[in-house]
A = this chain, B = another copy of it.
Amino acid sequence: MRWARFDHHGTATYGIVEGDSIQLVSGTPFGEWKKAGASVKLADAKLLIPFEPQTFYACGLNYAGHVREVAAKIGQPAVLPPNPDVGYRANNSLIAHNEAIVIPKDATEKVQYEGELVVVIGKKAKHLTRENALNCVLGYTIGNDVSERTWQKSDRTLWRAKNTDTFAPMGPWIETDVDLEKLVTKIRVNGKEPIQFPTNDMIFGVVDFLVAMTRYLTLVPGDMVWMGTEGATENMKHGDVCEVEIVGIGTLRNPVVRES
């Protein structure tokens, strides 16, 4: 099932994507809901971020190739993380499918995409086991963890490198029927030369993180975990369009503009 959230006459409304249309729903995927008996054309709908998150968890370095790339870029030795130590990001940076990534005036040209699987938590959870961990997951969406590499290197935290307003496109919707092993991530800028990797080829997988996190933390509905990206990333500039596709979920597309 694909849960979209869209602007319906000025109100954020949930619906279920079926073919070319969105079936309107009263309620939300995080609680009670029923089909409202109306639909809109998917092509006409202004999609919103698929939910308003509670805590924004991010795994950071979670693919071996990316760890080596980042280490090389910031001039430090590559060390694979020994444990699933999660990090945090901020909701101010979120934008929806089709909204513009705005590069601040004083950013360098090193503003880069990172295509990520996003785990959406649907149920309160603590002390999860490997066997029941995925029961708390409502579904999955796609994130683009836009990063300014000079700030990532210079600052004590990732606050502006990764949390500048508009630096976290997320969408287009939440897919609930996902086989993690079958997912493939493809990233394109202006439709060209896709970067491609098996989405689940992580250092620590979704189950690893959920089990580790909930040993100490209570997850609640609306929490989310961004699972990291693989490989080399490249600069995006004014006028570009960046697409992150995860085959089996959908395609998140965002134009890029530089603040003038």
Contacts and interface: CB of A to CB of B under 8 A. Distances in A.
B88 A88 contact: yes
Interface stretch (A134-142, A158-166, A236-244): A158-166
Number of copies: 2
* Interface magnitude class on chain A: 20 to 34
Mostly helix, strand, loop or mixed at chain A's interface? Answer: loop
A83 B155 contact: yes
A218 interface: yes
Interface string A183-219: 0000000000000000000000000000001011111
A119 B233 CA distance: 37
Interface in A212-249: 213, 215-220
Given A104-B216, A155-B83, A159-B87, A92 B55 contact: yes
Given A81-B156, A155-B85, A159-B85, A92 B165 contact: no
Contact of A165 (B83, B89, B163, B216): B216
Pick the 5 closest A-B CB pairs, nearest first.
Answer: A88-B88, A85-B156, A164-B216, A160-B216, A87-B157
